[in-house]
Amino acid sequence: MSERETYIYMDHAATSWPKPNEVIEAVTEAMKHDSANPGRGSHAMAVRASRILFNGRKQLAKLLNIKNPNDIAFTYNTTMALNMAIKGFVKQGDHVIASSVEHNSVRRPLHALEQTGVQVTYIDADERGRFKLDQLQRSMQHNTSLVIVNHSSNLLGTIMPIAEISTIVHEHGAKLLVDGAQSVGIIPIDVEQLGIDMLAFPGHKGLLGPQGTGGLYIAPHIELEPLLQGGTGSQSEAPHQPLVRPDRYEAGTQNTAGIAGLAAGVQYVARVGVENIYQHEWELSQRLLGGLSEIEGVVCLGPALGEPRTGIVSFYVPHIDPSEMAFILDQHYHIAVRSGFHCTPTAHNAAGTSERGAVRASVGYSSTVEEVDRFIAAVKEIIEQY
């Protein structure tokens, strides 16, 4: 039996597995035949490598309704994309707003900027990860330059009202940065319709691509100071970073084989349909949430049964340490979950789990009803025997 048949993987919020065969094949083909340095030569292999990058941008632009593929800068993960956006846009004396359920990839760059004189306000969220739009309205200041919000909490699965947030942000002349780590490829996104100025996203989660891939959409009206300076293959005689996109934001050699796999993952997602992926994950999350809620002693976090959410269901059992629960699930039931604080301690503050954290089970498009039912039965058995 294959590992896919014997191992239940419920850690899709960290990274998706297994990858579609076409993703693996695309990576392999690129490494075999197109491993030259893109943009660094005019020979045939270098040209083919450059086309891989352009194809990746084109596929992403189509999926997210981005008019110009060159407004997408490739990164190695969402963390890099968020750092590029935050540190490249915010100036000394600016005011920035973020929600209290943000990932450390937002919280830590903002903490570093606070040391330089940037003012930061965090919007409080309730135990289900929701914050009130009127509180955002009241928090806007004359010098508010940027509002940052995750599309979906990586602990609670809460889906934020991006369109409504965008309206408030733009009414006050600020810009909106969306952390799409848990939403791109899972929730339908139209950057034009939603009014997103910058969108940071991973390649290895909802887009089903390899690790070491990701990107940042930068709207045409946004100019960032580059996070990195260096070789781009263009304007090499100039001492400054090129102004042209995407070169301005992509110093150094890109992960060509990884981006080949990412493009294949995006095509797979587009073929299945993001709406269908969301529906599948929502139905499984509802089954998971409902089953866990029926087990005595289990406390589930995030939106209530029947409410919108991504495929994340976090929970805890008061008399069992989350790390021990995850260890038993792995060692005795061959089920992969994540425990602890999930790089979002402030979300745990909102959820009331700041002392020990929680167990996070997260489904993906490859997850099945049988796997969810086996997981619920395993948790029930552990509690009964503990």
Which active-site residues does the annotation give? 343
Residue that is written with structure tokens 């009127």 in the block: 134
Would you call 68 helix, strand, or coil by DSSP?
coil
Q: Helix crossing, 369-385 with 322-333: angle to 10°?
A: 120
Q: Tokens representing 239?
A: 């001492």
Ordered DSSP codes for 327-351? HHHHHHH-EE-EEE-TT-HHHHHHH
Q: What share of the chain is helix, strand, coil (3-state, %, to 5)?
A: 40, 15, 45
In contact, 188 and 278? CB cutoff 8 Å: yes
In contact, 176 and 149? CB cutoff 8 Å: yes
3-state SS of 246-295? CHHHCCCCCCHHHHHHHHHHHHHHHHHCHHHHHHHHHHHHHHHHHHHHCC
Would you call 120 helix, strand, or coil by DSSP?
strand
Angle at 76 between CA 114 and CA 205, to 5 degrees: 100
Q: Which residue stretches of the chain are H helix?
A: 3-6, 21-33, 44-64, 78-89, 104-114, 133-139, 162-171, 191-194, 256-272, 274-293, 322-333, 345-351, 369-385
CB neighbour burial string for 168-185, b if at least 16 within 10 angstroms, e if fewer? bbeeeebbbbbbbbbbbb
In contact, 212 and 258? CB cutoff 8 Å: yes
Residue that is written with structure tokens 């599948």 in the block: 280
In contact, 366 and 300? CB cutoff 8 Å: no
